[in-house]
Amino acid sequence: MLAANAVAESIRTTLGPKGMDKMLIDGSGDATITNDGATILREMDIEHPVAKMIVEVAKAQDDEIGDGTTTAVIIAGKLLEKAEALLDQDVHPTVIVQGYKQAAAKAQTVLQEMAVTASSDPKMLLKIAQTAMRGKGIEIAMDKLALISVDAAKAVAGFEGKDLEENIKIVKIPGGRIEDSIINHGLVVEKERTSPEMPKKISNARILLLEGTLELKKLDTDAKVTITEAKNLASFKEGEEKVIKDQVDAIIKAGANVVFCEKGIGVPAQNFLARNGILAARRVKREDLKMLALATGARLVGDVMTVSAKDLGSAKLVEERKIGKDKHMIFVEGCEKAKAVSIILHGVSEQFLEEMERALDDALNVVLDVIRSGKIVAGGGAPEILVAEKLRQYASTLEGREQLAIRAFADAVEAIPLTLAENAGFDPVDTLALLRAKCGQGAKNFGLNIISGQPSDMLAEGVVEPLKVKTQAIKSAAEAATMVLRVDDVIAAKKEEMKPKPGQSPHDYTMPQMPMPHY
């Protein structure tokens, strides 16, 4: 319990708009400054197995929802702290686990009843994005990034994939103004033309995505070609060039004027493509090709000789541009019904750009959650105060010892508004008393106003969060706490002995492959 609580305490001060940052130093001395809970826990060097279980919970929260990791870990830590007090009162762990499960189920019901339906109105989505970004240390860029995140989320909302990296590519460029950051409804490929003879700009592009290569395959290591006469050498080279020319002719016949190739493009192919006014890029990453397919509607082609017009994608413009001092990129723009987009971020330093990316990732996830589910709740600790109030009322209806665990659960959930007040510099006890009083009067959407320190209607203030963030945070925290509570002893497992395999010399041992523990 101490190990699990230590993890929660380490990130508690990062919660909320006034939360502090952590500086993480890796083995090589490089520093990362952030208050993003998921990043801190991912980068922390943790050895204790129970502490690792708490980190796994945070990872699950981040993978599932993309936000709310700090909330989930703080609640999990407090649940274990309250459970320790119950254990000292001789309440059995099984009773506590049962009570926590009942409380988590009741909390889910309360949150569902509290939720309001959100329209996909851009103003509401902007408020949600800004709430997710507050306190990330990028307030100077918040309005711009919020607009970008809403635009990008709306563009890819129809795609059911949970992993944003499949649909949204973020390109970070040090230097320039934050205002220069833009969203491109297409893709930015961090490559340049394979030949300076090729056109820099293609309007009304017809795009071929080639998985193969446009260069001659090398012979096998033991292969040999013997040429005895000079004229045969010339005809051999002509034959090689004809193969490449036929491939380029197939591209021209299909109607393509832009080629993105996963593998190499040889010099002969470059020359033929340039002569025919085709822009081409080689060694394009597989991930970029997949996103280009989503953006342009093209199909990935393996054999260039089989390409046809229906395999090609389209874009209004494909252009190579110089970014910064010495970097060139190819911009694919104006893709109709693009299911993949690019976001180009400009910032003063690498550190600031990384924090911008983390804030943008949180905003994108929460906006997508709201667009897809359509449910939001008030922020500022309002949901936790209401859940705690309802849980205490629910506990009063029970007769067994489970009511003690449910009350403990209510106290643990209130750690969120308590921490928000503490991190903002207000008296946490007074703040909690004010919020409880407002909730008791029936004001269910009242949370902590970070500026005044007084209870305010969070819906009216525009401080809102997706329902899924809150429900998943409480679910994750309860599961983590019950998992730890069910463990009554930590025992060192027996080590596998090193044994020779059949037919192997007794002196040539290999360590057997151990399965990685999964919590």
CB 312 within 8 A of CB 256: yes
CB 178 within 8 A of CB 141: yes
- The letter for the amino acid at 76 is A
Q: Which helix (H) or strand (E) holds 173?
A: strand 168-174
CA separation for the pair 351, 476 (Å, rounded):
30
Token reading at 198: 């090729």
CA separation for the pair 19, 419 (Å, rounded):
9
Dihedral through CA 53, CA 55, CA 57, CA 59, nearest 10?
-140
Q: Is 369 a catalytic residue?
A: no
Token reading at 288: 């970029």
Q: Which helix (H) or strand (E) holds 342?
A: strand 341-347
CA separation for the pair 342, 349 (Å, rounded):
20
Q: Is 121 a catalytic residue?
A: no
Determine which one of 69, 296, 431, 471 is catalytic.
69
Laid out side by side, the sheet with 464-466 consists of 116-117, 375-378, 464-466
CA end-to-end distance (rounded Å), the chain: 16
CB 332 within 8 A of CB 242: no
Contacts 24+ apart (CB under 8 A), 80-87: 80/1, 80/4, 80/5, 80/481, 80/484, 80/485, 81/1, 81/5, 81/412, 82/408, 82/409, 82/411, 82/412, 83/1, 83/405, 83/408, 83/481, 83/485, 84/1, 85/408, 86/404, 86/405, 86/408
CA atoms within 13 A on the CB side of 212: 13
Determine which one of 32, 36, 131, 361 is catalytic.
36
Determine which one of 70, 296, 419, 482 is catalytic.
70
Between CA 179 and CA 183, with CA 181 as vertex, the angle to 5 degrees is 130
CB 10 within 8 A of CB 44: yes
CA separation for the pair 400, 172 (Å, rounded):
57
- Contact residues for 354 (Cβ-Cβ < 8 A; gap 6+): 32, 34, 172
CA separation for the pair 318, 414 (Å, rounded):
53
CA separation, residue 420 to residues 65, 359, 487 (Å)? 21, 19, 31
Determine which one of 62, 67, 288, 362 is catalytic.
362
Q: Is 131 a catalytic residue?
A: no
Q: Is 32 a catalytic residue?
A: no
Residue 443, helix vs strand vs coil: coil
Query: Annotated active-site positions, please?
Result: 36, 69-70, 362
